[in-house]
Amino acid sequence: MAAISESPVYRATTTAPVNIAVIKYWGKRDATLNLPTNSSLSVTLSQRSLRTLTTASCSANYPAADELTLNGKSQDIQSSKRTLACLASLRAHRQELENTDSSLPKLSALPLRIVSENNFPTAAGLASSAAGFAALVRAVADLYKLPQSPTELSRIARQGSGSACRSLMGGYVAWRAGELADGSDSLAEEVASQAHWPEMRALILVVSAEKKDVPSTTGMQTTVATSELFATRANAVVPARMTAIERAIQNRDFPTFAEITMRDSNGFHATCLDSWPPIFYMNDVSRAAVRLVHDINNAVGRNVCAYTFDAGPNAVIYYLEKDSEIVAGTFRSILGTELEGWSGPFYDAVKDIGSGVSLDQVDSRAVHVLKTGLSRVILTGVGEGPVSVEDHLVGEKGEILSTQ
Amino acid sequence: MAAISESPVYRATTTAPVNIAVIKYWGKRDATLNLPTNSSLSVTLSQRSLRTLTTASCSANYPAADELTLNGKSQDIQSSKRTLACLASLRAHRQELENTDSSLPKLSALPLRIVSENNFPTAAGLASSAAGFAALVRAVADLYKLPQSPTELSRIARQGSGSACRSLMGGYVAWRAGELADGSDSLAEEVASQAHWPEMRALILVVSAEKKDVPSTTGMQTTVATSELFATRANAVVPARMTAIERAIQNRDFPTFAEITMRDSNGFHATCLDSWPPIFYMNDVSRAAVRLVHDINNAVGRNVCAYTFDAGPNAVIYYLEKDSEIVAGTFRSILGTELEGWSGPFYDAVKDIGSGVSLDQVDSRAVHVLKTGLSRVILTGVGEGPVSVEDHLVGEKGEILSTQ
């Protein structure tokens, strides 16, 4: 009896970035399809600092059920409706290709083995689901050699995690809420590339671990259902801000970009506080970061930095590279270089900066609160979208590898 | 040469209470007349715990300029437009009386000497201006024997400090925003007396001193001018809540009263956060109080207590006397009796209560934050309006006395 010949293992590997919204996604008009109540806009952060690496593979050698391994841990894929929805859509697209070109291998019929790793600790409190689902969708789309554009793929990634649709592109990305009930017009698109405004930097202040108040999916449903101020935000305030911030991005107008970013973060957290029961994501450390950003802007007489807060206490502070000394220099001077995270490519480029504005010009109580309330910083900047790479997390014979 | 005969010293003395709003006053449509953007409603707190004592006197013996002494300190009355406005209105009313009855002494022509003392420390962070202006207006109106009702006098007190108009009455008091440009229909009225619902209690959690973020007059103007959510609150949300909470008070329906109170406090602070630049009055200690109130309510399965926060971090927690053990007992068990303020007539009546809900049922982090973040408590309840008393702070010959 001849040895059974091994079937081939097909592989594709991609990286995908984290994105941080400046106009916040908060509220679903359809929870199953992940359709939002309002459009949102984010900055894609550089994968030189933060990225998910994902290999999608398929082979007739694999067990019949699809497999997913995240950060070394096998996941129960059947219990994740969102993952199943993404994979079903991707397989359907592959099947269309196979139906029109019978010479193609029937990959849609093969079990998948997907392996994914983040290069940043979950403990950093950064939403990893956006990068994770973007990488999963991009990797499987590459494995299947799908012709769909990133915007078309965003419709699939959105079903995994709403904000994931914005991680399929680099630079400045809008997620259009859309109007159709089936969500087919709820798509992400690049409103400006990284190259249009490459000077954008982001300093992430990671607040010492505290359990999240309310998970974001639950939180946004509570807000939509109970906040009496929310409809005004979704229907009137955000649409005007989307128009204004897109114009600011086109014009590389940082002061306007900054004000809209800060106001939208505040307005989002205001609707959380107005929810019933109320939701608090910002704490006293977050408030100290807000105060210091306003103090720095007041000290220099223009908006050189802007804070934004997602569904947690961490601050992300945007600024332009030319203002690195005023912004990163001031925060480094406040926080001290002993704090973890003053490292990496974006820091190496500016590490000789001075100490920024005089600490006489900023609130001393806020300095104390911030100094004692952070676990680390991450210095990064605007970056590109997913990149196809050869660092496979699945070997040629289908074995799971690890970069860790 | 005969001795110059001394002219008489006319005197009247009143006490006035503090009030704590459950539907918040935030926003002026006219800053000079102190006309609000929305109606508000408060509970008058018992003067057995907190009160201002004010004597108004007048005499031809006094120097020509009106004088005001607050807590032992002479005030520059000419620099306080608000005080001048109140005194001018009161004098005009007296003059009307004198014009119609020539037998009356011409008090309106005499210099005033007003002396006022609070029985609570300014450091307690309780807004003393409401009680102060209510006492001033009530005392001068008594001195002048004005026939105006408390509601008519509220028009005058409002010009001193908006919320002062609600301290001219006891029980449950609404301040109707009114519509007229001259403010003549912007008046306070008792919607229910203390006797209608005497069981209401208030536990004030005084947060360890921290400088106020933004004074309330400046803060509310910022909110009106900049918050994109504020108009929805003022025009739609508050009017509906006023109707609903008045009904809850009429029906002595505490669970409904509680929910509206908490939601309105949250909504008010939401519009502060939505202001530009953002205004934060609540801090992590305030958030801990919010959490514990929700935990206590969840533990017993109904709203037995309700928090509300003014323009500062202190929590006022309303509850009914029958739930003293569940509410005051739990907070006493959390805070310990070493903390200042577990005393006074309202405490004496319940000091044998047990320890309330099990601390296993409340958030342990919130317990820790609250335990370490308060400077004292004040246990009080709903009370009556200003009371005419004989404890004059000005002697028979016009000399300033003191109770302190």
Contact A290 B280 (CB under 8 A): yes
Q: B211 to chain A: nearest residue by CA?
A: A365
Q: What is the pLDDT of residues B270-310, one digit of tens each?
A: 999 999 999 999 999 999 999 999 999 999 999 999 999 99
Query: Does residue A276 sit at the B interface (CB-CB below 8 Å)?
Result: yes
| Band of pLDDT at residue A209, cut at 50, 70 and 90 | low
CA angle A92, A93, A94 (to 5 degrees): 90
Contact B233, B341 (CB under 8 A): no
Contact A165, A148 (CB under 8 A): no
Q: B233 to chain A: nearest residue by CA?
A: A229
Q: What is the pLDDT of residues A103-116, one digit of tens each?
A: 999 999 999 999 99
CA distance B269 to chain A (A): 8
Asked, for residue B401, whether it belongs to a domain, the answer is: no
pLDDT beyond 70 at B3? no
* B141, B208: one domain: no
Minimal Cβ distance to B278: which of A278, A284, A290:
A290
* A206, A322: one domain: yes
Contact A37, A124 (CB under 8 A): no
Query: Does residue B250 sit at the A interface (CB-CB below 8 Å)?
Result: no
Contact A280 B290 (CB under 8 A): yes
Query: Does residue A92 sit at the B interface (CB-CB below 8 Å)?
Result: no
Q: What is the pLDDT of residues B73-111, one digit of tens each?
A: 999 999 999 999 999 999 999 999 999 999 999 999 999
CATH of the domain at A113: 3.30.230.10
Asked, for residue B4, whether it belongs to a domain, the answer is: no
Asked, for residue B389, whether it belongs to a domain, the answer is: no
Contact B283 A280 (CB under 8 A): no
Query: Does residue A171 sit at the B interface (CB-CB below 8 Å)?
Result: no
Exposure b/e, B319-350, CB count within 10 A at least 16 = b? bbeebbbbbbbbbbbbbeeebebbeeebbeee
Alpha carbons B91 and B274: distance in angstroms, whole number: 42
* A142, A272: one domain: no
Q: What is the pLDDT of residues A123-156, one digit of tens each?
A: 556 767 899 999 999 999 999 999 999 999 999 9
Q: How far, in whole angstroms, is CA B299 from its chain's centroid?
A: 31
All residues of chain A having their beta carbon less than 8 Å from the beta carbon of residue B259 are: 276
* B40, B57: one domain: yes
Asked, for residue B130, whether it belongs to a domain, the answer is: yes
Q: With the C-alpha atoms ordered B282, B287, B292, B297, is the resulting torsion angle positive or negative? A: positive
Q: What is the pLDDT of residues A38-67, one digit of tens each?
A: 999 999 999 999 999 999 999 999 999 999
* B206, B273: one domain: yes
All residues of chain A having their beta carbon less than 8 Å from the beta carbon of residue B274 are: 229, 263, 266-267, 270
pLDDT beyond 70 at B72? yes
Contact A266 B283 (CB under 8 A): no
pLDDT of residue B96: 97
* A221, A159: one domain: no
Q: B283 to chain A: nearest residue by CA?
A: A284
CATH of the domain at A331: 3.30.70.890
Contact B267 A228 (CB under 8 A): yes
Q: What is the pLDDT of residues A170-205, one digit of tens each?
A: 999 999 999 999 999 999 999 999 999 999 999 999
pLDDT beyond 90 at A158? yes
Q: What is the 3-state secondary structure (H, E, C) of A243-305?
A: HHHHHHHHCCCHHHHHHHHHHHHHHHHHHHHCCCCCCCCCCHHHHHHHHHHHHHHHHHCCCCE
Query: Does residue B259 sit at the A interface (CB-CB below 8 Å)?
Result: yes
Strand-pairing partners, residue B115, are B55, B69
Query: Which of A232, A259, A269, A363 to probe by mutation at the B interface, max B CB count within 10 Å?
Result: A232
pLDDT beyond 50 at A90? yes
CA distance A186 to chain B (A): 26
Query: Does residue A266 sit at the B interface (CB-CB below 8 Å)?
Result: yes
Q: What is the mean pLDDT of residues B251-268?
A: 98
* A220, A170: one domain: no
CA distance B134 to chain A (A): 32
Q: How many CA atoms lie within 13 A of B194 on its CB side?
A: 16
pLDDT beyond 50 at A3? no
All residues of chain A having their beta carbon less than 8 Å from the beta carbon of residue B237 are: 228-229
All residues of chain B having their beta carbon less than 8 Å from the beta carbon of residue A232 are: 228-229, 231-232
Minimal Cβ distance to A283: which of B229, B233, B284:
B284
Query: Which of A207, A210, A228, A276 to probe by mutation at the B interface, max B CB count within 10 Å?
Result: A228
Query: Does residue A256 sit at the B interface (CB-CB below 8 Å)?
Result: no
Picking from B193, B211, B231, the residue at the C-terminal end of a domain is: B193
Minimal Cβ distance to B280: which of A259, A262, A287:
A287
Contact B277 A294 (CB under 8 A): yes
CA angle B34, B35, B41 (to 5 degrees): 100
Question: At A227, which amino acid appears?
Answer: S
Query: Does residue A132 sit at the B interface (CB-CB below 8 Å)?
Result: no
How much of chain A, in percent, has pLDDT values that exceed 70?
Answer: 96
pLDDT of residue A210: 66
All residues of chain B having their beta carbon less than 8 Å from the beta carbon of residue A294 are: 277
Paired sense of beta strands A35-36 and A51-59, if any: unpaired
All residues of chain A having their beta carbon less than 8 Å from the beta carbon of residue B236 are: 228
CA distance A196 to chain B (A): 29
Q: A233 to chain B: nearest residue by CA?
A: B229
pLDDT beyond 70 at A5? no
Asked, for residue A388, whether it belongs to a domain, the answer is: no
Q: What is the pLDDT of residues A256-292, one digit of tens each?
A: 999 999 999 999 999 999 999 999 999 999 999 999 9
Q: What is the pLDDT of residues B4-36, one digit of tens each?
A: 568 999 999 999 999 999 999 999 999 999 999
Query: Does residue B270 sit at the A interface (CB-CB below 8 Å)?
Result: yes
* B239, B147: one domain: no
Q: What is the pLDDT of residues B316-373, one digit of tens each?
A: 999 999 999 999 999 999 999 999 999 999 999 999 999 999 999 999 999 999 999 9
Whole-number average pLDDT of chain B = 94
Prediction ipTM score: 0.93
pLDDT of residue A128: 79
CA distance B242 to chain A (A): 15
* B258, B206: one domain: yes
Query: Does residue B209 sit at the A interface (CB-CB below 8 Å)?
Result: no
Strand-pairing partners, residue A307, are A317
In this structure, how many other beta carbons lie within 10 angstroms of the beta carbon of residue A109?
A: 12
Q: What is the count of structural domains for chain A?
A: 2
Alpha carbons B63 and B36: distance in angstroms, whole number: 37
pLDDT of residue A2: 45
Minimal Cβ distance to B233: which of A210, A229, A236:
A229
Q: What is the DSSP string of A160-193?
A: H-GGGGGGGS-SEEEE-----TT-TT--EEEEE-
Minimal Cβ distance to B270: which of A262, A274, A277:
A274
Asked, for residue A296, whether it belongs to a domain, the answer is: yes
- Give residue B65's region: left, alpha or beta (phi > 0; psi -120 to 50): beta
Minimal Cβ distance to B290: which of A231, A236, A278:
A278
Minimal Cβ distance to B274: which of A231, A267, A275:
A267
* B207, B189: one domain: no
Q: What is the mean pLDDT of residues A342-368?
A: 94
CA distance A173 to chain B (A): 24
Minimal Cβ distance to A270: which of B271, B290, B365:
B271
Query: Does residue A71 sit at the B interface (CB-CB below 8 Å)?
Result: no
Asked, for residue A403, whether it belongs to a domain, the answer is: no
Q: What is the 3-state secondary structure (H, E, C) of chain B?
A: CCCCCCCCEEEEEEEEECEEEEECCCCEEECCCCEECCCEEEEEECCCCCEEEEEEEEECCCCCCCEEEECCEEECHHHCHHHHHHHHHHHHHHHHHHHHCCCCCCHHHCCEEEEEEECCCHHHCCCCHHHHHHHHHHHHHHHCCCCCCHHHHHHHHHHHCHHHHHHHCCCEEEECCCCCCCCCCCCEEEEECHHHCCCEEEEEEEECCCCCCCCHHHHHHHHHHHCCCHHHHHHHHHHHHHHHHHHHHHCCCHHHHHHHHHHHHHHHHHHHHCCCCCCCCCCHHHHHHHHHHHHHHHHHCCCCEEEECCCCCCEEEEEEHHHHHHHHHHHHHHHCCCCCCCCCHHHHCCCCCCCCCCHHHCCHHHHHHHHHHEEEEEEEEECCCCEEECCCCECCCCCECCCC
Alpha carbons B153 and B93: distance in angstroms, whole number: 10
Residue A355, domain extent:
200-381
Contact residues, A window 295-354, toward B, CB-based 8 Å cutoff: none
pLDDT of residue A212: 63
Query: Does residue A195 sit at the B interface (CB-CB below 8 Å)?
Result: no
CA distance A51 to chain B (A): 33
Minimal Cβ distance to A271: which of B210, B263, B270:
B270
Minimal Cβ distance to B273: which of A237, A269, A277:
A269
* B188, B268: one domain: no
Asked, for residue A393, whether it belongs to a domain, the answer is: no
Q: A228 to chain B: nearest residue by CA?
A: B237
Q: What is the mean pLDDT of residues A228-244?
A: 98
Contact A315, A286 (CB under 8 A): yes
| Residue entry with tokens 């404890």 | B391
Helix (H, G, I), strand (E, B) or coil at A381: strand
Question: At B286, which amino acid appears?
Answer: S
- Give residue B223's region: left, alpha or beta (phi > 0; psi -120 to 50): alpha
Token pair, residue A344, equals 């990496």
* A313, A175: one domain: no
